[in-house]
Amino acid sequence: MQMSADRKPQPARAGTMGLNVGDVMIGIGSFINAIINFLIVAFVLFVVIKTINSLHKKPAEPEAPAEPTTKVCPYCQSEISIKAVRCPHCTSKLEGFPEINN
């Protein structure tokens, strides 16, 4: 086996584009091929991991219904505040109206 100092850099073969770096010839075609292969593998891995993540995602729990803040007046069927003791629409006395007796 010869020492590397004895070897001459190999010129690019006819019909191939390449770059000589020391004793190594880097072919442009194989470099582009490696980039394309990397992009394909990266895209496939991205799709696979995204699919696995979507399978592991738990369905969102339905939120508990919010506390009601309104009620319907039994006399005029208007929507009024749940704290109202007198209907603002028909002035009917509702449950909880304080009776003042003199």
| Binding footprint of Zn ion on the chain (CB under 5 A) | 73, 75-76, 78, 87, 89-90, 92
For residues 54 and 102, what is the distance between their CA atoms, to the nearest angstrom?
70
Q: How far is the CB of 71 from Zn ion (least distance, A)?
A: 10
Strand boundaries in the chain, DSSP class E: 18-21, 24-27, 70-72, 79-81
Q: What are the DSSP calls for 72-94, one per residue?
A: E-TTT--EEETT-SB-TTT--B-
Q: How far is the CB of 93 from Zn ion (least distance, A)?
A: 10
- Among residues 25 and 92, whose Cβ is nearest to Zn ion? 92
Q: How far is the CB of 99 from Zn ion (least distance, A)?
A: 18
- Among residues 9 and 74, whose Cβ is nearest to Zn ion? 74
- Among residues 18 and 71, whose Cβ is nearest to Zn ion? 71
Asked if 45 and 34 touch (Cβ cutoff 8 Å), the reply is no
